[in-house]
Structure 1
Amino acid sequence: MSTVTTATRFDPITLEVLRNRMEIIADEMQAAMIRSAFSTIIKEGGDCGVAIFDADGGLIAHANALPANLGILNSSVARILRDFPADTMDEGDAYCFNDPYEGGTHIPDVAIVVPIIHEGRTVALSAVIAHQQDFGGMTLGSLPPDSTEIFQEGLILPPTRLIHRGEWNREILNIILKNIRLPDKTMGDFRAELAAGDVGRRRFLETVRDYGLETVQSYLAELNDRAETQARARISEIPDGVYSFEDFLDSDGIDLDIRRKIACTVTVAGSEMTFDFEGTDPQLRGAANSAISGAISCCYYVAHCLYGEGVPNNAGCYRPLTVKVPKGTILNPEHPAALNSRTMTVLRAVDTAFGSLMRVIPERLRASSGGMEGVTFAGRRPDGGAYVYLELFAAGMGARPTKDGVDYVECDTTNMLNTPVEALELNYPVRVHRLELRTDGGGAGKYRGGTGLVKEFEVLDDTTEISHRGDRFATQPWGLYGGEPGASWETIVTTAEGQVTRIPSRKRFMLKKGDRMECSTAGGGGYGDPLERDPEAVARDVHDRKVSREAARSSYGVVLDDDGAVDADATAATRQDLARIRGAADWVFDRGAALGRQA
């Protein structure tokens, strides 16, 4: 770390200007990626991430976009540099990579890295990762929840020079395009990644032109050191100790009735913090495993929540962190285990990491959020082509120590956008009949968990394949300090003939024309005793249909008259009765109830 004496050599204004300039470069790259992309999942959903690295693979700045990519591009860039060292790169080169077992995430996430050359030497790297709508494998969309090995999930790319001195590597490109179902979309998205990478390249070189390479590099090194100092200061505020928690996945996609455990122990020692996932269940037969990069991104995200927004997102802020993940477990499987459903697994890892720290710093964290779900609609078009649409559902955010959770929002490591109904119906044979907030979705508490939504689709094509990947269908997002758990996820299919089927969290199935699928997303857990919630806030929730009259009485003890106003006397009596029945609240709401059908 830099000493105080060394730090005085740096002009504070220039330091802050360069810090913000790097972050703005990354944000501009992200905007260029989204505005240039062809696929709905990127241009509408924002499922992509960008970053700038130094020539050694050290993170300079990461866009404020998708926290799931924190640490992901780090490992992808490091792996590319092993095969293609910076001093061998040329002007006009671009490198691609997606191998989950070598530093990637899952096969659809393809990273592209562009070298930044100054006076004939690579001085930095511009990196982009984006979810491709299809990248081969056994299903349209490359996300089979029932896969049992990675070879069923799509085309695996080791570090590859995709472009050399401005010329496409046609042999490699042809192999890619021959193994995917949407080559036009993929080429458009590849070009969008290259455009975003070029934005980073040009803006970084402009900075070098304005300040000089030596100044830029020395100031960026100082920003790393200062980020480390700030991060260590925030960790030091947490009492030393060893803190543990565990949570459960619904299933692995094959054995649908067996819950799978993820365990995390956080050790705080002075200014350092270790995340250890010892005790996590062995790797799974199905696709709910996650490459180790997922556990790393989870821990980086949790650390950033603890640091606060004042700490730069660069390599320095990660130096105080250690992540340990036993080999052969859900979060670090042995090749060739399947792992395309890794997002929901990473979200459960976030819950365990947060849960580990809840006892010691409850004022800085929140109850469990509802997570997310990815449902792919895919089929063949009359001209022989294919279509793939991935619906990225959000849930409710967990309640906070002083505020309600946010309703229906991507949170934790996901930060993607809603696809507008108009964009969905314009481009795909799907009609949306209903889209509304879910009543009684959020867990009751002094501060209510955010609620999810209900969205109903009708299939207009003759046959549509659904790849349904979710979690929290058999468990519930836990509440804290008397707060109740949020509602579980629920998907119900009603065929054109009226047959009703409840869908588990991970399943692949077919729908035909006229079939409907209703998806109800989970709510976040509540925080604090529901009987302490302001009755007027409960009345507003009932008016907004976020809470039913029945739940207002049974969970909050609030009685409303026919006009929706609070009946003060009846509320006082009801709350007194409920308080006698419930007794004292534990720090996590009734673990047996929160884990529900896991028991």
Structure 2
Amino acid sequence: MSTTESTTTAPPTVDGVRLAILTNRFQGIVRKMTNTLFRTARSGVISNAKDFSCCIVTAEHELLVAAESLPIHVMSGPDLISRHIAEWHPEMRRGDAFLHNSPYHGNSHAGDHCLLVPIIDDEGNHRFSAIVKAHLADIGNSQPSTIVPTVRDVYEEGALIFPGVQVQRDYRDIDDIIRMCEVRIRVPDFWRGDFNGMVGAARIAEREVMQLAEEVGWEALGQYVGEWFDYSEHRMVEAIRAIPRGTATAETAHDPFGEFPEVRVKATVTVAHDDPKITVDLRDNPDCLPFGMNLTEATARTTAMVGTFMSIDASVPPNAGSARRLDILLRDGCVVGKPAHPFSCSGATTNIADRATNAVQMAFAELGDNTGLAEIGGVMPPAAPVVSGKDPRKGDAPFVDMLIMGMTGGAGAPEADAWLTAVHAGNNGAIRRNSTEATELLLPLRIWVDEIAPDTEGAGRHRGAPGNLVEWSPNNTRVEAMWISDGTVNPARGVRGGQDGHLGDQWIREADGELAHTAAFNRLWVEADQRVVSLSPGGGGYGSPLERDPEAVAQDVREGWVTADRARETYGVVVASDGVVDEAATGARRAEAGRR
């Protein structure tokens, strides 16, 4: 019987100590993979922002473990990629490696290059696969960016697509494929450094799993996999029974851009207790559109999984075992579903993907006050651009890189305020902001301002994250910049009485200091005497702001995140000039607000 088949809701009988030890050994292997790529990659988007993921899947294409990875990369995708590569290469051997980025065959989007290394025992049996997925600075697109939202199809996108292409045999590179990338990609030295780091990370996993098998035996590892999945399924059953049952639908919208109106995104969630299961239906959404923002099958499935796992007990292991209790309904030819070639999925990991995740977690919030989340703020403002140009400090050497200089966006939750550095729904805080100092060393840029924007949070019993104000400029050169900002028209919605987050915005500051609005979806040259000013959207609030702990409001006032006026008008909390709550005035103010 396949280990992905559900068996029973009864607690599994396992050796808990062995289960914990082997789980930590596998997680440790993935962390070694992560550390290897983080320390060896060349592109800042990988080595600084950590926009990559590592995982191990079984030979039956089941996600086993993905410690410290980005959810949008791994919750679904590695399973699909593994299955496709096994179909194309049924006779894999030790020493093989395969490059894959096809959005039509399980990958997230073409900008995420994946390297799969099969882990083969001494008898030639395929036991596991190590998968490394990294968002590259450049992949040879028609524009100097891995995300090009305005293209009509994959041909206009211009991406080099590698559907499970073998790049190593007997541990040696297949040079034809390497040359193809080096000729097409704008920064070949950076790509080669990133590729070598990915190979190193995957080979470390191969070595470590082989060593673990020598210690405990392949049979014991096979038994562990079944027990780990059964245990994870049981934990999922418990988590489902702990949240309200029923059906709820939530809807949100991605901002309009170019010729395209706003894209409405809807999710229906059903929680059943008798045979514990969660069903997420994403079929009632528009057909694929002639732009670069269609989701892939992997990212559509992952949006449902991220929204679900963010709404249940956080200790449930996210793997193929817990996923047995999750049904995801997709539709062929849908913008949030399974795309058909040649529709472009260039931006499939952010924007509309984030809105789909938000719809799922808001639907959970409709079921009851102890579950779900508000909406996470819109993504990819001008402080998260793709920049390119020539670096005068390095003899006008060309550069292309993607930066995460400033996004916050976290959503209010049932029991906690928003995570300030959530950044976007698809990674939920797992990605890192680029270091200001490292960015200025690596690229010809200056970051002038990086601060919290007061009064931009979605007010609530638990508030959303405030927006992030960032101001940056080229450093003695001109830079081409691209961004695809969502959340300047449609705010991050609050739930259960929580308020919406503040809208994002963007400007160009000219040499004389004057500010001029600029487009939310933009590709432009920023001159040496200009600055880009970016305000990222705030996240939505959870629950009525009149229910917020007055001391928490006062702390926000003392921190400068909320003004005293907003504390009084929105939260009904009167904070004196010394930062202390005036309890009598607060009681009167909230009583007055409650009568309205």
TM value normalised by structure 2? 0.91
Name the aligned partner's letter for residue 418 of structure 2.
Answer: G
Q: 1:593 maps to what in 2?
A: none
Shift of 1:130: 0.4
CA distance in structure 2 between the aligned counterparts of 1:567 and 1:21, rounded to whole angstroms: 53
Q: Give secondary structure in 2 for the equivalent of 1:363.
A: coil
Name the aligned partner's letter for residue 396 of structure 1.
Answer: G
Correspondent of 1:407 among 420, 428, 442: 420
Shift of 1:26: 1.6
- After superposition, give the CA deviation of every residue in 1:477-505 in whole Å (9 maximum; x if it has no partner): 11122221111121111233555332343
Q: 2:515 maps to what in 1?
A: 500
Q: 1:280 maps to what in 2?
A: 285
User: Residues 242-391 of structure 1: matches in 2 within 5 Å?
Assistant: 242-251=247-256, 253-255=257-259, 258-269=261-272, 270-332=275-337, 333-342=339-348, 343-373=350-380, 374-381=384-391, 383=395, 385-391=397-403
Q: 2:101 maps to what in 1?
A: 98
Q: 2:3 maps to what in 1?
A: none
Shift of 1:146: 2.1
Q: Let me know the Cα RMSD of the aligned residues.
A: 2.2
Report the identity percentage. 28
Q: 2:229 maps to what in 1?
A: 224
Q: Does 1:214 align with 2:205?
A: no
Q: 1:89 maps to what in 2?
A: 92
Q: Give secondary structure in 2 for the equivalent of 1:50.
A: strand
Shift of 1:104: 0.9
Shift of 1:137: 1.3
Shift of 1:94: 0.6
Q: Give secondary structure in 2 for the equivalent of 1:268.
A: strand
Q: 1:471 maps to what in 2?
A: 486
Name the aligned partner's letter for residue 236 of structure 2.
Answer: A
Q: 1:149 maps to what in 2?
A: 153
Q: Does 1:517 align with 2:532?
A: yes
CA distance in structure 1 between the aligned counterparts of 2:228 and 2:183, rounded to whole angstroms: 45
Q: 1:178 maps to what in 2?
A: 183
Q: 2:594 maps to what in 1?
A: 579
Q: 2:408 maps to what in 1?
A: 395
User: Residues 410-559 of structure 1: matches in 2 within 5 Å?
Assistant: 410=423, 412-414=425-427, 415-498=430-513, 500-559=515-574
- After superposition, give the CA deviation of every residue in 1:176-207 in whole Å (9 maximum; x if it has no partner): 11111011111111111111101111111111
Change in CA separation of 1:156 and 1:461 when aligned onto 2, cut-off 3 Å? farther
Q: Give secondary structure in 2 for the equivalent of 1:105.
A: coil
Shift of 1:27: 2.0
Q: Give the conservation status (yes or no) of the 8 Å contact 2:152–2:344.
A: yes
Q: Does 1:199 align with 2:204?
A: yes
CA distance in structure 1 between the aligned counterparts of 2:12 and 2:509, rounded to whole angstroms: 66
Q: Does 1:15 align with 2:19?
A: yes
Q: Give the conservation status (yes or no) of the 8 Å contact 1:113–1:125.
A: yes
User: Tell me, which stretches of 5 or more residues in structure 1 are unaligned?
Assistant: 582-599
Q: Give the conservation status (yes or no) of the 8 Å contact 2:243–2:312.
A: no
CA distance in structure 2 between the aligned counterparts of 1:370 and 1:107, rounded to whole angstroms: 25
Q: Give the conservation status (yes or no) of the 8 Å contact 1:140–1:379.
A: no
Shift of 1:108: 1.3
CA distance in structure 1 between the aligned counterparts of 2:102 and 2:218, rounded to whole angstroms: 33
CA distance in structure 1 between the aligned counterparts of 2:574 and 2:317, rounded to whole angstroms: 48
Q: 1:123 maps to what in 2?
A: 127
Change in CA separation of 1:292 and 1:7 when aligned onto 2, cut-off 3 Å? closer
Name the aligned partner's letter for residue 458 of structure 2.
Answer: G
Change in CA separation of 1:6 and 1:354 when aligned onto 2, cut-off 3 Å? closer
Q: Give the conservation status (yes or no) of the 8 Å contact 1:146–1:506.
A: no
CA distance in structure 1 between the aligned counterparts of 2:574 and 2:18, rounded to whole angstroms: 60
CA distance in structure 2 between the aligned counterparts of 1:526 and 1:502, rounded to whole angstroms: 27
Q: Give the conservation status (yes or no) of the 8 Å contact 1:496–1:513.
A: no
CA distance in structure 2 between the aligned counterparts of 1:55 and 1:476, rounded to whole angstroms: 43
Change in CA separation of 1:13 and 1:142 when aligned onto 2, cut-off 3 Å? closer
Change in CA separation of 1:14 and 1:310 when aligned onto 2, cut-off 3 Å? same
Shift of 1:573: 4.1
Shift of 1:290: 1.3
Change in CA separation of 1:504 and 1:292 when aligned onto 2, cut-off 3 Å? farther
User: Residues 48-67 of structure 1: matches in 2 within 5 Å?
Assistant: 48-67=52-71
Change in CA separation of 1:399 and 1:142 when aligned onto 2, cut-off 3 Å? closer
CA distance in structure 1 between the aligned counterparts of 2:421 and 2:236, rounded to whole angstroms: 31
Q: Give secondary structure in 2 for the equivalent of 1:188.
A: helix
Q: Give the conservation status (yes or no) of the 8 Å contact 1:371–1:395.
A: no
Correspondent of 2:112 among 109, 112, 115: 109
Change in CA separation of 1:174 and 1:554 when aligned onto 2, cut-off 3 Å? same
- After superposition, give the CA deviation of every residue in 1:487-539 in whole Å (9 maximum; x if it has no partner): 11211112335553323432222211111111111222122222233333323
CA distance in structure 1 between the aligned counterparts of 2:60 and 2:590, rounded to whole angstroms: 62
Change in CA separation of 1:434 and 1:227 when aligned onto 2, cut-off 3 Å? same
Correspondent of 2:142 among 133, 138, 141: 138
Change in CA separation of 1:303 and 1:400 when aligned onto 2, cut-off 3 Å? closer
Change in CA separation of 1:385 and 1:502 when aligned onto 2, cut-off 3 Å? same
CA distance in structure 2 between the aligned counterparts of 1:542 and 1:4, rounded to whole angstroms: 48
**Which range moved further: 62-71 or 390-399?**
390-399
Q: 1:590 maps to what in 2?
A: none
- After superposition, give the CA deviation of every residue in 1:215-244 in whole Å (9 maximum; x if it has no partner): 111221222222223223322444443221
Q: Give the conservation status (yes or no) of the 8 Å contact 1:144–1:508.
A: no
CA distance in structure 1 between the aligned counterparts of 2:549 and 2:63, rounded to whole angstroms: 46
Q: Give the conservation status (yes or no) of the 8 Å contact 2:12–2:234.
A: no
The number of residues matched between the two structures is 576
CA distance in structure 1 between the aligned counterparts of 2:560 and 2:65, rounded to whole angstroms: 42
